[in-house]
């Protein structure tokens, strides 16, 4: 009898333990959600997905696409439960209170003090982490495709990813921005500035202090294509890389208020930043910030000037590798180039080799604001930064004296605004580089290897061999980038 009683008790405990799981499996009914087909896998045009409510907490409801969840084992589903539990705890304890205290709150559609946010996981394109849809903040009567709730869409392939918390913080920042700017003020913010705030939110929360962080990945994206235009947005990794590097520089120089106040402003994008700078008594404009940032991303040296570096330990070693142009030995030789550049983008160009004086003739494009900065550094000298402003289609000459094979000179060409109304215009500027002064002799050039006869007595084939040897030498010394 005692044994039978023990069996009954044990069975009762098991039933009580597993009852919530079985009850949930029976009670949960799939819900239909409208989604953005732009982010669908394999280019399918599906506008809806069916999802199940997996976990519900104080502020967050976690939904998972039905077929994705059904394809998981019992063990995998339990692991997902643990992930959601930890993600919710991080959201409640850190993400929500810190971000709302700085940027303000997301839209409240019910009037209740606490309203849950839907987090919907479903399969997306490989390179998409998540998104929000502005139309979800409006009633179905205004837009029939609205889900009529506060909702964040996350790629289910990131459900086990170490940066899932950072992705949630990024997307929640967008919910705040949507309410603070578009809903309350009726003003859609520029995409690049919305993304800049969301990128910095991850650092603000302290998530970028770990190794192989969210920010580390953005640094790689930036260095892969630093010439990507800042305000031109197509959602590529390069766009995020440039915006992330720029916003970290901007906040280091002007504080978090530059993101907070521009969100509260009735102006958007560049105009809101110029308004902030004027209100705070700064002499710089947004264009000045961009120019200084372009210098900082190459020089990154606080000893030259505090505005030409990053203080963040994650960014102190970030340096753009400029395009290298090899200068001829003889004074009568020139290098002429026509180069393309986009609005709010920069090109970095290093001139190496040659001796004597470097003369660079620069002709600016039309219909834009063209700026040139250049940095000169000798073997044991401190870097010197100089800047030039150009009128449209204006030609200027720059002469840098006493160059030798240990000198480095880098030019940074930037477009900081255009009068053209066309989207994403290209501009062309021209540079003609030449060595000036007397024709150098063999001894004046100080080649790092011996040559059999003076350069001015060599044939073209012999000069080419010397040139190749010099390039190999410069590469080995880190003075020539390929």
Domain segments of the chain as ranges? 27-177, 189-314, 323-476
76-88 tens-digit pLDDT: 999 999 999 999 9
According to the model, what pLDDT value does residue 138 have?
Answer: 92
Residue 180 neighbours by CB under 8 Å, 6+ apart: 103, 104, 263, 264
**Residues shown for the chain:** 482
pLDDT at res. 53: 97
**Residue 273 tokens, joined:** 């930043």
Where do runs of H (alpha helix) occur along 145-230? 164-177, 184-185, 191-204, 214-224
Q: Is residue 234 pLDDT above 70, yes or no?
A: yes
Q: Is the pLDDT of residue 12 over 60?
A: no
pLDDT given for residue 34 in this prediction: 97
More confident residue, 92 or 467: 92
Q: In the structure, what pLDDT confidence band is assigned to residue 466 with cuts at 50, 70 and 90?
A: confident
pLDDT confidence band for 478 (50 / 70 / 90): low
Relative orientation angle of helices 96-103 and 164-177, to the nearest 10 degrees: 30
| pTM score, whole prediction | 0.85
* Mean pLDDT on 97-105: 97
104: left (phi over 0), alpha (psi -120 to 50) or beta: left
pLDDT reading at 219 higher than 60: yes
> Which has the higher per-residue pLDDT, 424 or 446?
424
Helix (H, G, I), strand (E, B) or coil at 437: coil
- What's the pLDDT score for residue 467? 76
Rounded to the nearest 5°, which phi and psi values hold at 428? -125, 125
Residue 161 pLDDT class (50, 70, 90 cuts) = very high
Q: Measure the CA angle with vertex 466, ends 462 and 467; round to 5°.
A: 115
* pLDDT value of position 482: 46
Quote the tokens at residue 181.
């700017």
Residue written as token pair 């640094």? 219
- Mean predicted lDDT score pLDDT of the chain: 88
Which pLDDT band holds residue 465 (cuts at 50, 70, 90)? confident
pLDDT number for residue 405: 61
Label residue 397 exposed, middle or buried (CB < 10 Å: 0-12, 13-18, 19+). Answer: exposed
Under the banding of pLDDT at 50, 70 and 90, the label for residue 128 is: very high
| Better-scored residue on pLDDT, 111 or 193 | 193
Q: Say whether pLDDT at 16 is over 50.
A: no
| Sheet hosting strand 130-131, strand order edge to edge | 31-34, 48-56, 60-65, 117-122, 151-155, 130-131
Tell me: pLDDT of 448 over 80: no
The CATH architecture of the domain made up of 323-476 is Sandwich (2.60)
Q: For residue 91, report the phi and psi dihedrals to the nearest 5 degrees.
A: -65, -45
Which residues, 6+ apart, have CB-to-CB distance to 134 below 8 Å? 178, 182, 188
Q: In whole angstroms, give the CA distance from residue 29 to residue 73.
A: 19
Residue 63: the pLDDT is: 98
Query: What is the arithmetic mean of pLDDT over 319-347?
Result: 85
The Cα 260–Cα 98 span in angstroms is 13
Least confident of 232-241, 253-262, 326-335, 358-367: 326-335
- Round to whole Å and give the CA distance between 293 and 296: 5
pLDDT for 439 beyond 60: no
Q: Tell whether the model's pLDDT for residue 353 goes beyond 80.
A: no
Contact 471, 479 (CB under 8 A): no
Which of 256-265, 370-379, 400-409 tops mean pLDDT? 256-265
Distance between CA atoms of residues 208 and 194, nearest Å: 19
Pull the structure tokens for residue 76. 């995998």
**Beta sheet of 368-377, edge-to-edge order:** 323-326, 345-352, 408-418, 368-377, 384-390
CA distance 93 to 107: 20
pLDDT interval class at 113 (50, 70, 90): low
Core vs surface per residue 461-480: b (16+ CB within 10 A) or e: eeeeebeeebbeebeeeebb
Tokens describing residue 268: 């958007």
Quick one: average pLDDT of 168-191? 97
Average pLDDT over residues 327-345: 82
What pLDDT does residue 455 have?
A: 66
Separate counts of helices (H) and strands (E) for the chain: 14, 15
Rg (the chain; Cα; Å): 29
Encode pLDDT of 383-399 as tens digits.
999 999 999 999 999 99
Q: Give the C-alpha separation, 11 to 480, whole Å.
A: 75
For 119-169, the DSSP string reads EEEE---TT--EE--GGGGS-TTT-TT---S-EEEEEGGGTT-TTHHHHHH
pLDDT band (50, 70, 90) for residue 461: confident
CA proximity to 300, closest of 279, 275, 318: 318
- Which residues, including other chains, have CB under 8 Å from residue 391's CB and lie 6 or more apart? 364
Whole-number Å distance between alpha carbons of 100 and 263: 12
């Amino acid at each position: 009898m005692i044994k039978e009683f023990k069996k009954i008790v044990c069975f009762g405990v098991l039933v009580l333990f597993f009852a919530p799981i079985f009850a949930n499996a029976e009670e949960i009914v799939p819900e239909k959600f409208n989604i953005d087909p732009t982010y669908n896998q394999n280019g399918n045009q599906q506008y809806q997905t069916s999802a199940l409510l997996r976990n519900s907490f104080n502020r967050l409801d976690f939904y998972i696409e039905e077929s994705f969840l059904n394809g998981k084992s019992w063990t995998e589903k339990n692991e997902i439960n643990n992930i959601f539990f930890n993600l919710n705890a991080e959201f409640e304890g850190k993400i929500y209170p810190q971000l709302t205290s700085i940027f303000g709150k997301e839209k409240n559609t019910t009037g209740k003090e606490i309203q849950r946010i839907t987090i919907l996981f479903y399969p997306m394109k490989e390179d998409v982490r998540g998104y929000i849809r502005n139309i979800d903040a409006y009633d179905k009567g205004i837009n029939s495709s609205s889900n009529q709730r506060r909702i964040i869409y996350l790629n289910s392939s990131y459900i086990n990813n170490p940066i899932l918390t950072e992705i949630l913080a990024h997307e929640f920042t967008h919910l705040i921005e949507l309410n603070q700017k578009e809903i309350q003020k009726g003003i859609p913010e520029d995409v690049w500035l919305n993304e800049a705030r969301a990128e910095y939110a991850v650092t603000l929360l302290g998530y970028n202090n770990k190794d192989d962080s969210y920010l580390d990945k953005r640094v790689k994206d930036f260095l892969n294509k630093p010439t990507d235009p800042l305000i031109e947005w197509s959602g590529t990794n390069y766009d995020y890389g440039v915006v992330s590097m720029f916003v970290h520089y901007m906040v280091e120089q002007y504080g978090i208020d530059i993101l907070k106040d521009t969100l509260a402003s009735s102006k958007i994008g560049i105009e809101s930043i110029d308004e902030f700078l004027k209100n705070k008594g700064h002499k710089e404009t947004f264009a000045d910030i961009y120019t200084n940032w372009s210098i900082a991303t190459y020089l990154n040296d606080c000893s030259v000037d505090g505005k030409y570096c990053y203080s963040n330990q994650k960014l102190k070693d970030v340096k753009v590798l400029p395009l290298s142009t090899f200068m001829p030995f003889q004074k009568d030789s020139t290098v002429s180039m026509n180069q393309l550049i986009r609005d709010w983008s920069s090109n970095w160009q290093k001139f190496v080799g040659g001796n004597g004086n470097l003369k660079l003739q620069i002709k600016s494009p039309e219909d834009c604001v063209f700026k040139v900065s250049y940095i000169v550094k000798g073997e044991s000298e401190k870097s010197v930064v100089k800047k030039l402003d150009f009128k449209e289609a204006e030609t200027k000459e720059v002469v840098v004296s006493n160059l030798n094979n240990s000198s480095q000179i880098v030019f940074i060409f930037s477009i900081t605004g255009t009068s053209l109304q066309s989207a994403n215009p290209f501009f062309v500027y021209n540079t003609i580089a030449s060595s000036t002064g007397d024709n150098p002799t063999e001894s004046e050039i100080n080649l790092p290897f011996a040559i059999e006869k003076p350069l001015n007595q060599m044939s073209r084939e012999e000069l080419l061999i010397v040139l190749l040897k010099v390039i190999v030498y410069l590469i080995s010394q880190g003075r020539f980038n390929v």
